[in-house]
């Protein structure tokens, strides 16, 4: 599953998400399957709050802005399967442009398969068994729906390897395909345009360094290699986190976001 799934993570807390923590989940460029097995989770994105109920399977379409997460102060646990930007479409077989920036109940999108999977997950004991079972259920879906596109994969890997510093025009030149054609492919396979995905990869380069404990002040020398100026960086940063860089550094506690970034 490595060409399609970037990581599988587990979050557990005996007291839920701390009220004092901002619990900001920044976009990564990939969509997700999530299964809260203890406690419900409330996600707030674009001003809209959505609740994920325990022991239900959910699909999070590819996002291009930040999400805030909340829970009640009780035992909380969640499994997340995070796909590469081009990885969900070959497995799940639905156009990613139709589901981007929305949290969906998986049974609404995937019908009986999702209902059967969530029922077994609810009855299994132990996180390890649940993770193994969920992985095993993705393989038949891949064999059934396999629709991988080598061109999309090449473009995504090129954007990722350059931290989003390659332009769409360069992608046109390298691949021989027009911007319009690449955008249509990305809409179906990724859910975000090449330009938007490049912006997420640029941001992630700085965000990961913050998660590792580096100060943004130490990254200023690199800033102009990735952004036109500080104003451009601040605008993108606010979109990805909901805060300006200054606010985020001095006023925001986001240990959850740090751990999620370093998963």
Answer yes or no: are the C-beta atoms of 244 and 252 closer than 8 Å: no
133 and 232 together in one domain: no
42 and 116 together in one domain: yes
- Please determine, for residue 1, whether its predicted confidence score (pLDDT) is greater than 90: no
- Please determine, for residue 263, whether its predicted confidence score (pLDDT) is greater than 90: no
Answer yes or no: are the C-beta atoms of 222 and 214 closer than 8 Å: no
- Please determine, for residue 55, whether its predicted confidence score (pLDDT) is greater than 80: yes
pLDDT of residue 226: 80
pLDDT of residue 251: 75
Q: In terms of pLDDT, which residue wins out, 221 or 187?
A: 187
Residue 251 burial by Cβ neighbours in a 10 Å radius (0-12, 13-18, 19+): exposed
Question: Is residue 224 very low, low, confident or very high in pLDDT (cuts 50, 70, 90)?
Answer: low
44 and 73 together in one domain: yes
193 and 255 together in one domain: yes
Last residue of a domain, one of 118, 145, 172: 145
Rounded to an integer, the average pLDDT of 33-58 is: 95
Q: How far apart are CA 240 and CA 128, in angstroms?
A: 32
pLDDT of residue 154: 97
21 and 139 together in one domain: yes
DSSP the chain: -TTTEEEEEEEEESS-S-TTS--EE---S--EEEEEEES-EEEEETTEEEEEPTT--EEE---SS-EEEE--SS-EEEEEEEE-TTTHHHHH-S-GGGTTT-EEEHHHHHTHHHHHHHHHHHH--SHHHHHHHHHHHHHHHHHHH----HHHHHHHHHHHHTTT-S-HHHHHHHH---HHHHHHHHHHHTSS-HHHHHHHHHHHHHHHHHHTT--GGGGHHHHHHHSSSHHHHHHHHHHHHSS-HHHHHHH---HHHHHHHT-
Q: Give the domain CATH number at 124.
A: 2.60.120.10
Q: Give the domain CATH number at 174.
A: 1.10.10.60
214 and 243 together in one domain: yes
**What residue numbers bound the domain in which 112 lies?**
5-145
Q: 9-22: per-residue pLDDT in tens? A: 999 999 999 888 88
- Please determine, for residue 218, whether its predicted confidence score (pLDDT) is greater than 60: no
37 and 136 together in one domain: yes
**CB neighbours (10 Å) of residue 239?**
16
Task: Provide the percentage of residues in the chain whose pLDDT is more than 90.
Answer: 70
- Please determine, for residue 176, whether its predicted confidence score (pLDDT) is greater than 80: yes
116 and 206 together in one domain: no
- Please determine, for residue 232, whether its predicted confidence score (pLDDT) is greater than 70: yes
Last residue of a domain, one of 128, 145, 162: 145
φ, ψ (nearest 5 deg) of residue 232 = -65, -45
Q: How far apart are the first and last CA of the chain?
A: 18
Q: 123-153: per-residue pLDDT in tens? A: 999 999 999 999 999 999 999 888 889 999 9
Q: 79-93: per-residue pLDDT in tens? A: 999 999 999 999 999
Question: Is residue 59 very low, low, confident or very high in pLDDT (cuts 50, 70, 90)?
Answer: very high
118 and 36 together in one domain: yes
119 and 162 together in one domain: no
22 and 35 together in one domain: yes
Looking at the 3D structure of the chain, how many domains does it have?
2
Last residue of a domain, one of 145, 170, 185: 145
Q: How far apart are CA 84 and CA 27, in angstroms?
A: 12
176 and 132 together in one domain: no
Token pair 């132990």 in the structure block, residue = 126
Rounded to an integer, the average pLDDT of 104-122 is: 96
pLDDT of residue 234: 84
| pLDDT, mean over the chain | 91
Query: For residue 68, which of 31, 42, 99 has the smallest C-alpha distance?
Result: 42
pLDDT of residue 146: 81
Question: Is residue 243 very low, low, confident or very high in pLDDT (cuts 50, 70, 90)?
Answer: confident
Strand partners, 59: 33, 104
Task: Provide the percentage of residues in the chain whose pLDDT is more than 70.
Answer: 96
Question: Is residue 216 very low, low, confident or very high in pLDDT (cuts 50, 70, 90)?
Answer: low
Distances (CA, A) of 158 to 51, 100, 155, 187: 36, 22, 5, 17
């Amino acid at each position: 599953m490595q060409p399609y799934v970037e990581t599988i993570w587990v979050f557990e807390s005996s007291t839920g998400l701390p009220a004092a923590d901002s619990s900001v989940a920044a976009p990564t460029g990939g969509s997700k399957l999530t299964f809260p097995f203890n406690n419900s989770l409330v996600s707030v994105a674009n001003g809209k709050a959505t609740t994920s109920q325990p022991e239900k399977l959910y699909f999070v379409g590819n996002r291009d802005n930040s999400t805030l997460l909340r829970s009640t102060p009780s035992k909380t646990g969640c499994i997340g399967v995070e796909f590469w930007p081009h990885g969900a479409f070959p497995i799940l077989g639905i156009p990613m442009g139709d589901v981007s920036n929305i949290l969906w109940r998986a049974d609404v999108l995937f019908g009986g398969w999702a209902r059967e999977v969530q029922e077994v997950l609810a009855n299994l004991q132990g996180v390890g068994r649940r993770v193994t079972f969920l992985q095993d259920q993705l393989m038949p879906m891949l064999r059934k729906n396999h629709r991988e596109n080598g061109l999309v994969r090449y473009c995504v890997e090129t954007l990722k390897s350059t931290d989003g510093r390659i332009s769409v025009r360069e992608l046109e030149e390298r691949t021989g395909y027009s911007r319009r054609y690449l955008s249509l492919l990305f809409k179906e396979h990724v859910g975000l345009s090449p330009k938007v995905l490049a912006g997420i990869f640029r941001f992630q380069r700085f965000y990961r360094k913050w998660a590792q404990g580096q100060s943004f002040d130490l990254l200023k020398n690199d800033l102009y290699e990735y952004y036109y100026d500080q104003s451009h960086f601040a605008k993108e940063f606010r979109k990805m986190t909901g805060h300006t860089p200054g606010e985020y550094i001095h006023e925001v506690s986001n240990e959850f976001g740090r751990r999620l970034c370093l998963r």
